[in-house]
Amino acid sequence: MGWKEAELMRRRNVIFGEEEVSCWIEDGMSVGIGGMLLSSHPMVILRQIIRRKVKKLRVVGSILSSLDIDLLIGAGCVSQVVAPYVGAESLAPIGPLFRKAAENGEIEVWECDEGMYFAGLRAAAQMLPFMPWRGGVGTSYPEVNPDLKLFQDPIRGETLLAVPAIHLDVVLVHAAISDPYGNVQHVGTGFGDRALCRAAEKVIAQVEKIVPNEEIKKYPQNTSIIADAVIRSPFGAHPFASPGFYVEDRIHLNEYLFAANALAKEGDERPFADYLKKYVTEPETHFDYLERIGVRRLFSLNEF
Amino acid sequence: MNINSLQRGSYTIRELMAVWISRQIRDGEVVGGGGGTLAIARAGQLLAHLHHGPNMRFLSLVSMNLHCCPSLSLSLFESVADWRVSRWAEAYWIPSEIYDQLRLFRKRVLFISGIQIDKYGNVNLFGMGNDFRNLDFRGPGGLGAATGTTYAGRYYIFAASHTPRVFVERCDYVTCVGWGEGGKEARRKLGLPGGGPVACITSLCIMDFDEETKRMRLKSVHPGVSISEVIENTGFRLMIPPNVEETEPPTIEELEILRTKVDPEGLLRGSD
């Protein structure tokens, strides 16, 4: 084999830059976003999506979504939200901009509960048109979300709910490590990330650290996701937590909520516009963003 | 509501509610869920475990089957997603797997809340308003409540505030079916395997359901609360039986565990 052939036979590296890979996300796509509540949202890519002014996304959040989606809504990127919850627990029981946009009809909420959410993802993963589900029978779910349809099951004749497959063009997750070939490992359960990725056409994973392939082979049972693209993103879930690395930045989340509440509750656009400018549009890359946050703050977010 | 009026002697109404919740849970049952917004329910579950439930299991939203331990206090981890709670885990599964083992829910005792609750224990978490695309008030969304209440062995409805805006004749939308249109066969007719709601606890009282009609019925009022206060704050005609007791106050033992182990920071002693 000559050197050229040998070069062709080399295993393909899937490490991408954040700007390059964010171009995979186009207007109108169905985009899944991993993590849960105050943990593990792929903020590096989400900020790139806002900078690129991507519009009309169908955003499929995590089972319990948070201010990641609230931010995307505030930045005008979203037309539909698929998520059983959008909020920040005791910090904000409901995402303020999510609530405002839903009440004003600026976004459509594809109502589903956690069980239906996983049923829809499973249908997509198994390339089935729908998955039967019982939770929600007798409720207003089929009324508030006409895509959920009651039907008579052909086996026992029971009334069940058909949950259509939740199609995903691309899924974005934040995890602990990956090798250069897209073998991703989480610390902790990875929340609903696996279920999202199984339903997706393409998976983009930001990771705290890119490690050599040998590290992955030490514990192959820990590999949770095979990604099509990997982005090196230390502190990439900030202001949210990243299991095994740092906890959520409550000071920053409150700064966000102050700006979002001013817009949602008082119609004062200035604080939110300032937030977007300071933390999203002015810093051009993730490392510019981290410089704005500052090392002292970042290194104060310890798990111990 | 005046905060001071919530202080009844040496405990707060929030502590009283946590203690009542604790008494509903039997040893060996499965509990779980509950974030910062449901601190009272979480406190009640931990109290039950430390007071009389050594065989209870705690199914966390971070997906661990946890036999919790005495040092797991209420304020330790403010976020439900905080993975550090796994230091007490005895089993570990990903969230979608919780919905692959709904048989487990037969042993599960659930506590749910709502923005509207009607006389048959149906609960609305979606929002208020006639037009769903243009709601007057958007609620938090359904979370896992529809599936949980379909399968849970039994469940309790929980209302941090008791007002006519919350307790309504009819919910604008139903996120969780309780007793539907009423009657003890209501759930069986819908094919729902779980036992349904058995009681409702609020800042004023405890209510249960009439055995035949499954209409909500006053069971006990919290110390210092009058029956007429409950009636005035309920938007539907509540059944009032001849004997309405006073909610039994916490014992010294329960309060001691609650304050020294479950809630040493006093989250439940603060104002509502």
Domain-embedded: residue A265: yes
- The span from the CA of A172 to the CA of A202, in Å, is 9
Q: What is the mean pLDDT of chain A?
A: 96
C-beta atoms surrounding A8 within 10 Å: 9
- Examine the domain organization and report whether A147 and A59 are in the same domain: no
Domain-embedded: residue A11: no
**Which residues of chain A are within 8 Å of residue B79 when distances are taken between CB atoms?**
37-39, 89, 241, 248
Q: What is the mean pLDDT of chain B?
A: 87
Chain B residue with minimum CA distance to A224: B94
Region of poorest pLDDT, from A126-130, A221-225, B43-47, B206-210:
B43-47
Q: Helix, strand, or coil here: B86?
A: helix
- Examine the domain organization and report whether A184 and A77 are in the same domain: yes
- Examine the domain organization and report whether A209 and A63 are in the same domain: yes
Region of poorest pLDDT, from A14-28, B93-107, B144-158, B166-180:
B93-107
- pLDDT, position A239: 98
- The CATH homologous superfamily for domain B3-262 is Glutaconate Coenzyme A-transferase (3.40.1080.10)
- Examine the domain organization and report whether A197 and A143 are in the same domain: no
User: Does A301 score more than 50 pLDDT?
Assistant: yes
- pLDDT, position A24: 97
- Examine the domain organization and report whether A97 and A239 are in the same domain: yes
In CATH, what number is assigned to the domain containing residue A294? 3.40.1080.10
Percentage of chain A beyond pLDDT 90 is 94
- pLDDT, position B1: 35
User: Does A57 score more than 70 pLDDT?
Assistant: yes
Scan residues 71-100 of B and list those with Cβ closer than 8 Å to A: 78-84, 86, 92-96, 99
Contact B151 A121 (CB under 8 A): no
What proportions of chain B, in percent to the nearest 5, are helix, strand and coil? 30, 20, 50
- The span from the CA of A204 to the CA of A197, in Å, is 9
**Residue scoring higher pLDDT (B88 or A223):** A223
What is the domain count for chain A?
2
Rounded to two decimals, the ipTM of the complex is 0.90
B141 touches chain A (CB under 8 A): yes
Number of H helices, E strands in chain A: 13, 12
- Examine the domain organization and report whether A151 and A282 are in the same domain: no
- Examine the domain organization and report whether A101 and A134 are in the same domain: no
- Examine the domain organization and report whether A171 and A160 are in the same domain: no
- pLDDT, position B72: 64
User: Does B3 score more than 50 pLDDT?
Assistant: no
Residue A107 structural domain: 18-114+166-298
Give the number of beta-carbon pairs within 8 Å between A and B. Answer: 179
**Residue scoring higher pLDDT (B62 or B187):** B187
- pLDDT, position B67: 56
- The span from the CA of B121 to the CA of B216, in Å, is 7
A104 touches chain B (CB under 8 A): yes
- pLDDT, position A249: 97
Chain A residue with minimum CA distance to B75: A90
- Examine the domain organization and report whether A264 and A291 are in the same domain: yes
- Examine the domain organization and report whether A28 and A139 are in the same domain: no
Q: Considering Cα of A202, then A208, then A212, then A214, what sign does the dihedral take?
A: negative
- Examine the domain organization and report whether A31 and A76 are in the same domain: yes
A126 touches chain B (CB under 8 A): no
Q: Residue B176: exposed, middle, or buried by beta-carbon count in 10 A (0-12, 13-18, 19+)?
A: buried
Cα→Cα distances B95→A63, A117, A214, B101, B135, Å? 9, 11, 29, 11, 30
Region of poorest pLDDT, from A259-263, B6-10, B80-84, B124-128:
B6-10
DSSP state of B167: B
pLDDT digit string (tens) for A16-25? 999 999 999 9
Domain-embedded: residue A28: yes
- pLDDT, position B35: 47
- Examine the domain organization and report whether A88 and A192 are in the same domain: yes
C-beta atoms surrounding A93 within 10 Å: 15
Contact A64 B80 (CB under 8 A): yes
- pLDDT, position A262: 98
Q: What's the average model confidence in pLDDT over B21-40?
A: 80
User: Does B5 score more than 80 pLDDT?
Assistant: no
Enter the pTM of the model.
0.93
- pLDDT, position B160: 87
- The span from the CA of A15 to the CA of A25, in Å, is 17
User: Does A132 score more than 70 pLDDT?
Assistant: yes
Q: Helix, strand, or coil here: A125?
A: helix
User: Does B214 score more than 90 pLDDT?
Assistant: yes
pLDDT digit string (tens) for A157-174? 999 999 999 999 999 999
Residue to substitute from B85, B132, B192, B272, interface A, most A β-carbons within 10 A: B132
Find, among B84, B46, B79, the residue nearest to B64 by Cα.
B84
Domain-embedded: residue A6: no
Q: How confident is the model at residue B78 (pLDDT cuts 50, 70, 90)?
A: low
Domain boundaries defined on chain B: 3-262
